[in-house]
């Protein structure tokens, strides 16, 4: 039996088992799940010696010792969760990829941290190559080696769709009952076309193709019967009412068990977005924030997140190959020296806090829990 046929048969069996529960959790069920969680504070994580997801996870560059050390730094400032990006090309390497995921989960669990795994990403380089040594960072440029998943070729090739979906169901199924996995973020910024970086290299029709594929990604992920919630984060635009949502945003909200979003704007914008999303009566996660020069900082955002019991993940832990201490405009004007104010990241490569007072603030604000009592949900809104 071929691997593809076996995967298809497995999916059909899972679909039959999941038929009665192939819809998102009800708002009531999602709120009850969230009430059992601590206030979740963490970061988007990649080790400082990896330029992208491929270098983090490839067998010859996966650095468990470095990861363990850096997760210890995160734990030292009160973080209890991390958001981590995977890649579909890594799954093609066989079960060794899942074994490294298991190793990562063990390291995180040893630090009392739970993990959100991100399956796909529409941001940055559209031409990933897992089988080659990853390139060195471009001097002075923010996140110059990050890669999309799936890449442009796989995304636009109908013959590769089943492989992409097999990756979803098999990876989620492997960890579907693993309590160390907090949630599954199925697609990061799905309609991002990389204006200002790789926009001219993204294929025509990319957003339309992702929009058609995303519901199937949810379907296949749910067929794996995960005990963890599914999500995909909104990242720009006006979400003040359903009629203002794009077609992609409607899919993200209607198919998600928990609502997630990104906000790199100032605190008043962050709070407005939280209020908009509370209307859906589901737990709210901010899976990306922090752009210090424009006022999105740990000190300005976390008090608001705590007030509304929003899970909060800033971008970046340790300054390294991703160079995300540099701002986005470094793509147009590469920096020749370190910026006066870091854009992202909390620690230097050797583990020193970028700002001692910032680290002290993190320890202080995470020391006391936020409100965890579930919000009341109207009976009508609680139906699947």
Q: What is the pLDDT of residue 95?
A: 87
The predicted-structure confidence for 292-305, as pLDDT tens digits, reads as follows 999 999 999 999 99
Q: What is the pLDDT of residue 381?
A: 38
Answer whether residue 234 shows pLDDT above 70. yes
Q: Using alpha carbons only, what angle is made at residue 374 by residues 370 and 377, rounded to the nearest 5 degrees?
A: 140
CATH number of the domain to which 320 belongs? 3.20.20.80
Q: What is the mean pLDDT of residues 120-125?
A: 97
Is residue 342 assigned to a domain? yes
Sheet holding 259-263, edge to edge: 230-231, 181-188, 114-121, 81-85, 41-44, 311-315, 284-289, 259-263
Is residue 381 assigned to a domain? no
Share of the chain above pLDDT 70, in %: 91
Q: What is the mean pLDDT of residues 351-362?
A: 98
Are 148 and 126 in contact, with CB atoms under 8 Å apart? yes
Is residue 194 assigned to a domain? yes
Answer whether residue 83 shows pLDDT above 70. yes
Buried b (16+ CB within 10 A) or exposed e, 235-250: beeebeeeeebbebbe
Residue 138: give the domain boundaries.
39-366
- Distance (Å, whole) CA 163 – CA 3: 10
Domain tally for the chain? 1
Q: What is the pLDDT of residue 14?
A: 52
Q: Over the chain, what is the mean pLDDT?
A: 93
Share of the chain above pLDDT 90, in %: 88
Q: What is the pLDDT of residue 376?
A: 57
The predicted-structure confidence for 204-225, as pLDDT tens digits, reads as follows 999 999 999 999 999 999 999 9
CA dihedral sign of residues 208, 209, 210, 216: positive
Band the pLDDT of 371: cuts 50, 70, 90: low
Q: What is the mean pLDDT of residues 159-177?
A: 98
CA-based max dimension of the chain:
59
Q: Strand 284-289 relative to strand 81-85: parallel, antiparallel, unpaired? A: unpaired
Written as one string, the DSSP assignment of 270-330 is HHHHHHHHHTT-S-EEEEEE-BGGGTB-HHHHHHHHHHTT-EEEEE-SB-STT-TTS-GGG
The predicted-structure confidence for 237-264, as pLDDT tens digits, reads as follows 999 999 999 999 999 999 999 999 999 9
Are 239 and 216 in contact, with CB atoms under 8 Å apart? no
Q: What is the mean pLDDT of residues 231-237?
A: 97
Q: What is the mean pLDDT of residues 309-325?
A: 98
Q: What is the pLDDT of residue 23?
A: 93
Could you give the count of Cα atoms lying within 13 Å of 276 in the half-sphere of its Cβ? 22
Is residue 9 assigned to a domain? no
Q: What is the mean pLDDT of residues 130-137?
A: 96
Is residue 25 assigned to a domain? no
- Please tell me the pTM assigned to this model: 0.92
Band the pLDDT of 384: cuts 50, 70, 90: very low
Is residue 20 assigned to a domain? no
Q: What is the mean pLDDT of residues 52-61?
A: 97
Q: What is the pLDDT of residue 199?
A: 83
Is residue 23 assigned to a domain? no
Q: What is the pLDDT of residue 117?
A: 99
Q: What is the mean pLDDT of residues 340-364?
A: 98
Is residue 1 assigned to a domain? no
């Amino acid at each position: 039996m071929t691997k593809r046929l076996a995967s298809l048969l497995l999916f059909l069996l899972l679909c039959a088992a999941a038929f009665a529960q192939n819809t998102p959790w009800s708002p009531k069920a999602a709120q009850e799940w969230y009430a059992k969680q601590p206030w979740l504070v963490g970061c988007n994580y990649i080790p400082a010696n990896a330029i992208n997801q491929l270098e983090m996870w490839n067998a010859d560059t996966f650095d468990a010792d470095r990861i363990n050390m850096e997760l210890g730094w995160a734990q030292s400032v009160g973080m209890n969760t991390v958001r981590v990006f995977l890649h579909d090309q890594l799954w093609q390497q066989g079960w060794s990829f899942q074994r490294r995921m298991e190793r990562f989960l063990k390291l995180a669990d040893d630090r009392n941290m739970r993990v959100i795994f991100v399956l796909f990403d529409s941001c940055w380089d559209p031409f990933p190559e897992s089988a080659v040594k990853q390139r060195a960072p471009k001097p002075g440029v923010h996140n110059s080696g990050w890669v999309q998943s799936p890449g442009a070729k796989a995304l636009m090739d109908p013959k590769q769709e089943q492989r992409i979906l097999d990756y979803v169901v098999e990876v989620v199924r492997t960890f579907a009952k693993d309590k160390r996995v907090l949630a599954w973020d199925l697609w990061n910024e799905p309609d991002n076309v990389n204006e200002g970086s790789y926009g001219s290299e993204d294929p025509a029709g990319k957003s339309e193709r992702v929009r058609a594929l995303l519901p199937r990604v949810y379907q296949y992920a749910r067929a794996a019967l995960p005990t963890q919630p599914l999500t995909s984060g909104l990242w720009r635009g006006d979400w003040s009412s359903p009629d203002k949502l794009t077609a992609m945003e409607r899919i993200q909200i209607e198919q998600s068990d928990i609502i997630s979003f990104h906000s790199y704007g100032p605190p008043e914008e962050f709070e407005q977005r939280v209020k908009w999303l509370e209307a859906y009566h589901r737990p709210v996660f901010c899976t990306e924030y922090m752009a210090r020069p424009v006022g999105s900082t740990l000190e300005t955002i976390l008090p608001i997140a705590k007030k509304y019991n929003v899970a909060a993940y800033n971008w970046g832990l340790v300054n390294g190959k991703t160079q995300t201490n540099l701002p986005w405009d470094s793509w147009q004007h590469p920096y020749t020296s370190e910026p006066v104010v870091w854009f992202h990241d909390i620690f230097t490569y050797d583990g020193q806090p970028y700002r001692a007072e910032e680290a002290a603030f993190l320890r202080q604000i995470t020391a006391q829990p936020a409100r965890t009592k579930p919000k009341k949900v109207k009976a009508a809104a609680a139906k699947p």
